[in-house]
Amino acid sequence: MKRLRVLVLMDEAFVPPDSLEGVSDEEMLEWKTEYDVLTTLEEMGHDARPLGVSDDLGAIRDALLEWKPDITFNLLEEFHGVAVFDAHVVSYLELMKQPYTGCNPRGLMLAHDKALSKKLLAYHRIPTPKFLVYPRGRRVHRPTRLHYPLLVKSVIEEASLGISTKSLVDNDRQLQDRVEYVHRELDTDALVEEYIKGREFYVGVLGNQRLQTLPVWEMVFKNLPPDMPNIATAKVKWDVETQKKLGIETHQAKDLDETEVAAISRLCKRIYRALSLSGYARMDLRRSEAGQIYVLEANPNPNLSYGEDFAESAHAAGIPYDQLLQRILNLGLRYKGYV
Ligand SMILES: Nc1ncnc2c1ncn2[C@@H]1O[C@H](COP(=O)(O)OP(=O)(O)O)[C@@H](O)[C@H]1O
Ligand SMILES: [Mg+2]
């Protein structure tokens, strides 16, 4: 294996400290992905160097010109505090002719706009919940073509930001309140979807042209109160107390037969291609009680922390963490964009 100079691009706030001395587990959670990637790349024999940025493209330019990395490992999640600007930073890397890991700008742009991606998926007859977009500054009209219960979320936000049990609405009154909440608190347009009652699956995909899917992963709620929906709210995703209380676990989905797993794998590859994704991504799916699979969203550049769903499902497929990072580097080096 060739020793590579890898510039690990990350948010300024998430640059790990030089030493772990005196660092609490909670503090470490903030920059665990960055830490895991940097230390693993070093252990693998690569020359990995962190670059933290927030709003200065100059810092990226200087690092590229002075250090001449073979590749940039892209862990950046926002620029100027704006999540969708990550696509522009990757465009800049392309303009600098710099190979990078993860998704290309076009895929990032398409997948980050949930409404736009659903329109593309509909063209390809890929099942996704029926939906409406409620733009900011417009009256909340009755959703005549949709059936309650509905789920209200932001059209562009990630990480379940703004998603709580109140996001699930049963009538016009609750719908109006929640759409106004998304407009006011998240300052984005609202996406309103039919609620798919059922199991929740996550499927990792790796590749540029030739794609590999990872085993189907499931989020389970072992202590879900009977009147509570199994929604991956912000608290379920990020609050350890809530996770303990509801008995949240993620592991390989059990009791799916081979034919169904193969069908899910084919579906995820179609989603990946329909949205022009590259590098690696994770699909969020729901399986209705009737057994129909729906895609909720595609996540390019998903969380790469050691021990998190993507890495765990790769592990289950026989790809340990260091090999996973090497695969991601190789895909980045081989990716041919516009040039
Ligand atoms: N149409 C839907 N039906 C059922 N659950 C949904 C639906 N949309 C979102 N959810 C729930 O909300 C969570 C977050 O929604 P998602 O679209 O994946 O946004 P995010 O980008 O914040 O992860 C999902 O993991 C799922 O639990
Ligand atoms: Mg999601």
Q: Which ligand is located closest to the Cα atom of residue 128? A: 1
Whether 158 is in the pocket of ligand 1, judged by its Cβ within 6 Å, is: yes
Mean pLDDT, range 132-146, rounded to an integer: 90
Distance 154 CA to ligand 2 centre (A): 11
pLDDT bin (cut points 50, 70, 90) of residue 142 is confident
The answer to the question of residue 296 being in a domain is: yes
- What CATH number does residue 175 fall under? 3.30.1490
Contact partners, residue 113, CB within 8 Å, separation at least 6: 84, 155, 156
Residue 122 confidence (pLDDT) above 60: yes
Whether 168 is in the pocket of ligand 1, judged by its Cβ within 6 Å, is: no
Same domain, 171 and 90: no
**Of 52, 65, 71, 50, whose CA–CA distance to 3 is shortest?**
71
The answer to the question of residue 107 being in a domain is: no
Whether 86 is in the pocket of ligand 1, judged by its Cβ within 6 Å, is: no
Distance 79 CA to ligand 1 centre (A): 24
Range of the domain at 9: 5-100
The answer to the question of residue 118 being in a domain is: no
Whether 78 is in the pocket of ligand 1, judged by its Cβ within 6 Å, is: no
Residue 27 confidence (pLDDT) above 70: yes
Residue 144 confidence (pLDDT) above 90: no
Domain endpoint, select from 172, 194, 216 = 194
- How do strand 150-154 and strand 190-194 relate by DSSP bridges? antiparallel
pLDDT bin (cut points 50, 70, 90) of residue 338 is low
Mean pLDDT, range 18-47, rounded to an integer: 91
Whether 10 is in the pocket of ligand 1, judged by its Cβ within 6 Å, is: no
pLDDT bin (cut points 50, 70, 90) of residue 28 is confident
For the chain, percent of residues with pLDDT exceeding 70? 99
Mean pLDDT, range 204-219, rounded to an integer: 97
pLDDT bin (cut points 50, 70, 90) of residue 339 is low
Q: Which ligand is located closest to the Cα atom of residue 296? A: 1
- Work out the mean pLDDT of the chain and round it to a whole number: 94
pLDDT (0 to 100) of residue 87:
95
Whether 218 is in the pocket of ligand 1, judged by its Cβ within 6 Å, is: no
Same domain, 204 and 138: no
pLDDT bin (cut points 50, 70, 90) of residue 22 is confident
Q: If 0-12 CB within 10 Å is exposed, 13-18 middle and 19+ buried, where does residue 330 land?
A: middle
pLDDT digits (tens, 9 = 90+) for 289-306: 999 999 999 999 999 999
Same domain, 216 and 286: yes
pLDDT (0 to 100) of residue 64:
97
- What CATH number does residue 20 fall under? 3.40.50.20
Would you say 281 and 204 are in contact if contact means Cβ atoms under 8 Å apart?
Answer: yes
pLDDT digits (tens, 9 = 90+) for 61-76: 999 999 999 999 999 9
Domain endpoint, select from 148, 175, 194 = 194
pLDDT digits (tens, 9 = 90+) for 223-247: 999 999 999 998 988 888 999 999 9
- What CATH number does residue 212 fall under? 3.30.470.20
Contact partners, residue 119, CB within 8 Å, separation at least 6: none
Distance 339 CA to ligand 2 centre (A): 32
Same domain, 187 and 204: no
The answer to the question of residue 303 being in a domain is: yes
Same domain, 80 and 159: no
For the chain, percent of residues with pLDDT exceeding 90? 86
pLDDT digits (tens, 9 = 90+) for 302-323: 999 999 999 999 999 999 999 9
Same domain, 188 and 222: no
**Of 21, 40, 6, 19, whose CA–CA distance to 320 is shortest?**
40
Would you say 229 and 165 are in contact if contact means Cβ atoms under 8 Å apart?
Answer: yes
Same domain, 14 and 90: yes
In 195-329 the beta strands, taken as DSSP E runs, fall at 198-207, 211-213, 217-221, 248-252, 279-288, 293-300
The answer to the question of residue 105 being in a domain is: no
How many C-beta neighbours within 10 Å does residue 236 have?
Answer: 20
Domain endpoint, select from 84, 100, 116 = 100
Whether 167 is in the pocket of ligand 1, judged by its Cβ within 6 Å, is: no
Whether 6 is in the pocket of ligand 1, judged by its Cβ within 6 Å, is: no
Would you say 71 and 333 are in contact if contact means Cβ atoms under 8 Å apart?
Answer: yes
**Of 208, 164, 202, whose CA–CA distance to 185 is shortest?**
164
Contact partners, residue 212, CB within 8 Å, separation at least 6: 205, 206, 317
- How do strand 5-11 and strand 71-74 relate by DSSP bridges? parallel
Residue 84 confidence (pLDDT) above 90: no
Whether 286 is in the pocket of ligand 1, judged by its Cβ within 6 Å, is: yes
pTM > 0.85: yes or no: yes
Mean pLDDT, range 133-156, rounded to an integer: 92
Residues 282, 335: Cα–Cα separation, whole Å:
19
For ion ligand 2, residues whose CB falls within 5 Å:
284
Counting ligand 1 atoms within 8 A of each CB, the residue from 114, 148, 191, 231 with the most, and so the one to mutate, is: 231
pLDDT digits (tens, 9 = 90+) for 167-206: 999 999 999 999 999 999 999 999 999 999 999 999 999 9
Whether 231 is in the pocket of ligand 1, judged by its Cβ within 6 Å, is: yes
Counting ligand 1 atoms within 8 A of each CB, the residue from 163, 193, 200, 303 with the most, and so the one to mutate, is: 163
pLDDT (0 to 100) of residue 236:
87
First-to-last CA distance in the chain? 26
- What is the H or E stretch that residue 132 is in? strand 131-134
Whether 248 is in the pocket of ligand 1, judged by its Cβ within 6 Å, is: no
Same domain, 257 and 236: yes
pLDDT (0 to 100) of residue 158:
84
Ligand 1 atom at minimal distance to the Cα of residue 200: 27
Per the listing, tokens 């609490």 go with 24
Helices 321-334 and 309-316, interaxial angle, to 10°?
100
Count of domains for the chain: 3
**What would the two tokens of residue 245 be?**
């209380």
Same domain, 232 and 320: yes
The answer to the question of residue 320 being in a domain is: yes
Mean pLDDT, range 268-272, rounded to an integer: 98
